[in-house]
Every structure is written in structure tokens, then in C-alpha cells.
Chain A
Amino acid sequence: MKIRSRPGSLMVCYLAVISVFLLLPQLIVVVVAFSEASFVSFPPPGYSTKWMVRVLSDPSFMKPLWNSVVLGLSASILAAALALPASIAIVRHSFRGARVIQNFLLSPLSMPALILAIAMLFFLSDIGLGNTYAGLLFGHVVIVLPYLVRTIVAVYSGADPRIEEAAYTLGAKPLSTFWFVTLPMLRPAIFAGGMFAFLVSFDEVAIALLLSNASSITLPVSILTYLTYNYDPAVAAISVIKMIIVVLALLALERFYGLQNLTMQSR
């Protein structure tokens, strides 16, 4: 079939248009980040790194950047600690309701984040965690947990259960088998799922908007609030720095896991 071996000319046109459509906004942001002007226009009248320098030395952006990194890492690690035993149980211990529990663990994915954020706001103040870092952290753990569960379950389901049985017959007790066989086999999945979780948390706006405070404000929130009052290349510059971090994380992800495996499982 044509489209399988060699795309037709109509397909090529379409792919070109859609590529521009999907990539243009990001490219524009990169160009504006190096604008010389003190206002946003396109194309910029000249190019300089002055906005990059300004943003990098501005604590009102650098502090949130650091906050985002810390929050993303802590939420991912905490979520991984919850997701790993649960995923292993879902795949290997065929217990009643395993399927239901799996769907439950994935359910935060289909909840509008802003509504969840509002609900958490009420709830956290009711249980005495209102306006605390723990509240923000737990909110992000809820959001990123499904990504870890999904990745680990998908990889572990594909692993041959005979591998662990082989370890048993070779004299390894269950704990040794977990430590020397299961965990190393799952390491790429944990890493990939954790990286994915980090990126989701790093980008999350709604929960951070409502649950963070002046000292824990995250980068997306600070960009959003800056943008509601200002419209200058500073936003583009900080966005480029954020993109660089994301691309680096993505390259690491690709190295450990392969991008192609990130296409979502339709389950």
C-alpha cells in the first residue's frame, strides 16, 4: 500500500502543515527569548541574550524553578514508592479485584485537575493541612501516581514470570529474588515512569496554582501570574530555560526507555 511504503504527495503536504502547526508555537517562543526589544513582537527587531541573562539572575523566576525541581522529584519518588508494590501485586498476585484496583489507581488521569485542586483545597484545610507544603506535595503525588502505575504495570506484564521461578529453583528466596531479579528488571520502567511523573509534575498548573504559597510557588504558576500582568520576552526566556530542562530529561528518558514506548497503552 502506498502510505505504507512511501507517502503520497497529499500526505507529504499534510505532514508539513501539521509539523508547522505542532512545532511553531515552541519555535516562536525560542526566537522571542533572544529578542533585543523590550516588548514582544515578531519577528524581533534584533537579537540579544539580555532577557536570558535577566531571567537567570531574577530570583522571582529562579526560586520557583528550584521549587518545581524539588517538588517534581519528591512527588515522583513518593509516588514510585507507592506505585511499585501496587503494580507488582496487580501483575503477579492474581487476587480478586486486582483489575478494579488498577483502574482506581489510574482514575486521577480522567479528573479535571482544576476541580481536583479546588476539592483538595477544601479537604486539606478541613484536615489541618491547608496552605502546607505537604498538601501541595500530596496533590502532585495524586496526579503523577497513575503514570508510574501505568508504566510499571505495562513493563512488568510483559516480563516472563518464569524468570522469577527460575531464580527460586536456583535457590533464591522471595526477598533475594525481588532484590536481585525483579527490581533490576523493573529498574528501566521505574526510571522511565518516574521521569514521566517528574515531567507531569514539573508542568502541572492547576493544583500548584491553588495549593502553593509564596514560598512554594512553582515555575508554571509564576510564569502564568507574570503573564497575566506583563507581556514581555522575559516569559519567553524563562520558558526556553524550562524547555532545555525538559529536553534534557527527555534525552535521559530516551536513553533508558526509548521514546516509542511512551505511546500510551489504550487500556
Chain B
Amino acid sequence: MTRRGSIRQGAKGYLLTFPAFAFLAVFFVGPLIVNLLESFKDDEGGITFAQYARALGDAYYLEVLGDTIALSLVVTIASLLLGYPLAIAIARSRGALKSFLIFLVVTPLLINVVVRTFGWMVIFGRSGFLNSILKFLELDTITLTGTWTGIAIAMVQVLLPFMVLSIASTLEGIDGELEDAATTLGATPLKTIIHVIFPLSLQGVITGTVLVFALSIGSFVTVMLMGTNSTMVLPLLVYQQLNLASDWPFAAALGNILIFVVLIATALQLSLSRKGARR
């Protein structure tokens, strides 16, 4: 009777998940498969690796790929360094301060990337906020719009909340008494953070790092609006291949390379968190 019961439970489970499952199978997995097939298709309908050979054999495309990964790494590391103390502050504060800090992190998430990038354009523009201040201080003006530095700063602001939220949610789960124990055993606050808190929050750090990396490697709006011809990233290149050159198979191949990079990052995350969990 048990067996019958559990089979019935199982059937019900599959039945209830079926609509969502089927929907994603068609409209999420389906497109990715079509995309994959498209990238291997040659003019006669046969199979070819020409698109990939073209993408990975050309110095320009390789440089763009390299720039994209480098930019994403810089943005990710900067987000981690800037975000970690904020995550600690959120996890350890109470009351109004905590509410304010959460507001601080969540609000940017809900303001469109386009709008925030526009804000940075105003800040970094030739007669923008930053230069007004520099002029007021009688310093040389600088133009960050169109530079990797400007783009990276804007992207860190866009992606920082994801890092902070990932780390903060792990830190919230750490027993506050552990810190007290470390302190009573003679550890200074900094040492407590390095030897007790950081190792315990590693899971959140890994999640946040991979999330920010994946998001930044796929983002194009900031570069599209703030960049110039010398600042090109892969997603934007894919978009241009599609829109301007209408070269679908090549766009598909470039897109799959990008997905491949994200998959490697995700696989790295999985193996790292397994290692972390084993300790």
C-alpha cells in the first residue's frame, strides 16, 4: 500500500510540475538547441566548424573575448572587495541601520541598467558632475566616458548588489556567538574576520563571485551606451553581428562561446562549493 501511495504521490508531483517543465523545455531549452544547430550549419545544410574556426582564429575576435573576460574579472574582484564589508555590516547591524543598508543594496537593483548607466554618463560626461567638482577644486578635468575605467566603475555599481546579497545571506546564517567566542579567545576584530568569518562565508563568496562574473560577461548595455569602437565586448559584438551584418550562424557561434564561458564558471562554482562543503 505504501508503494502504491508513493507512486501516486510521485505521479501527482510530475503532473503538477509538468506545465512549467514543458514550457521551459520548449521556450528555454528549445532555443538553445536551435542556436547550437544553427552555429554548426553550413550553406548546403551540412555540418561545419567554420564559424568557430573563424571566431577563434581571428586576432580581433580573440582580443574582444579576452577583453570581455578581463573586464568581467576586474568588475567581479572589485565588487568582492567593495561588497564584503557591506555584507558584514548588513549581517551584523540591527534595526534602522539594517533597513537602510538593505534599502541601499536593493534600490539600485530595481532601477533599470539603462537609467543607471545614463546617470554615470552624466557623472563622467565632459560637463558632468565629476568635472564640475574637479573644476571647482581647480584640478584638471578628466573624461571617463568611453574608457574601460569608466565602464568598469559603472558596471561595479550595477552588479555590486548581487555580490552583497549573496554574501550577506550566508553571513546571516553564521552564529553570532562564534564571533564572541573568537573574541573572548583573544582574536582582534580583524583577525576574527580573517580566520573565522571569511572561511565560514566562503559559500556565499563563491556564489556571489560566479553570479557577478556570469552577469557581467553577459551584459552589454553599459558598454553599448558608454563605450566607443575601442571598447568592445563579446555580447555587444554578437548583437552587432546579428543586427548589422545579419550573420546569424556567426552570431550563434559567438553566443555559444559566451555560454561556454559561463558554463565553465558555473562548473567551477560547483566544484569549489563541493570542496567547501567537504571541509
Contacts and interface: CB of A to CB of B under 8 A. Distances in A.
The answer to whether A and B touch in the complex, with CB atoms under 8 Å apart, is yes
Given A86-B19, A86-B21, A203-B110, A122 B31 contact: yes
A83 interface: yes
Given A259-B102, A263-B165, A116 B127 contact: no
B200 to A, nearest CB: 13
Given A28-B119, A96-B10, A118 B28 contact: no
B27 to A, nearest CB: 5
Interface string B235-267: 100110010000010011001101100100010
Centre residue among A114, A142, A205 by max chain B CB count within 10 A: A114
B76 interface: no
Nearest to A199: B110
A250 B112 CA distance: 14
Contacts of B66: none
B53 interface: no
Interface residues of B, number: 99
Given A26-B115, A205-B114, A263-B172, A93 B9 contact: yes
Contact of A206 (B14, B15, B125, B220): B220
A4 B112 contact: no
Contact of A42 (B97, B101, B123, B166): B123
Interface stretch (A46-54, A97-105, A160-168, A182-190): A97-105
B25 to A, nearest CB: 9
B179 interface: yes
B27 A138 contact: yes
Contacts of B115: 25-26, 29, 223, 235, 239, 242-243
Interface string A67-91: 0000000000000011101101110
A159 interface: no
Interface in A21-76: 21-29, 32, 40-43
Interface string B257-279: 01100100010000000000000
Interface of B: 9-17, 19-21, 23-24, 27-28, 30-32, 34-35, 38, 82, 85-86, 88-89, 92-93, 97-99, 101-108, 110-123, 125, 127-129, 132, 154, 157, 160-161, 165-166, 168-170, 172, 176, 179-180, 183, 189, 192, 203-204, 207, 211, 214, 217-218, 220-221, 224-225, 235, 238-239, 242, 248, 251-252, 255-256, 258-259, 262, 266
Interface string A9-29: 001001100110111111111
Interface in A213-267: 220, 223-224, 227-228, 231, 235-236, 239, 242-243, 246-247, 250, 259-260, 262-266
Nearest to A250: B110
A14 B85 contact: yes
Contacts of B31: 116, 119-120, 122-124
A227 B117 CA distance: 10
28 contacts: A1-B183, A3-B89, A14-B85, A15-B86, A22-B104, A22-B157, A25-B115, A25-B118, A29-B116, A29-B122, A81-B19, A86-B17, A89-B17, A93-B13, A111-B32, A118-B251, A122-B34, A124-B31, A141-B23, A145-B23, A205-B112, A206-B220, A210-B242, A220-B114, A227-B118, A243-B111, A263-B169, A264-B165
B85 A11 contact: yes
B20 A205 contact: no
Centre residue among B21, B32, B119, B125 by max chain A CB count within 10 A: B119
A82 B23 contact: yes
A25 B157 contact: yes
B262 A265 contact: no
A119 B254 CA distance: 12
Contacts of B266: 110
A145 B28 CA distance: 11
Given A18-B86, A263-B172, 18 more contacts: A4-B92, A14-B85, A15-B89, A18-B104, A22-B105, A29-B116, A82-B23, A94-B13, A95-B14, A105-B17, A105-B24, A115-B218, A119-B34, A142-B28, A205-B113, A236-B118, A239-B118, A262-B106
B23 A93 contact: no
Interface residues of A, number: 91
Nearest to B216: A112
Contact of B34 (A126, A236, A243): A126
B122 A93 contact: no
Contacts of B105: 22
B104 A118 contact: no
A266 B204 contact: yes
Given A41-B127, A116-B28, A85 B122 contact: no
Contacts of B102: 259-260, 262-263
Given A3-B89, A42-B128, A120-B27, A266 B207 contact: yes
Q: Which 9 A-B pairs have the closest CB atoms?
A: A112-B218, A25-B119, A95-B13, A93-B13, A89-B16, A119-B31, A123-B31, A119-B35, A95-B10
Nearest to B99: A259
Contacts of A93: 9-10, 12-13, 16
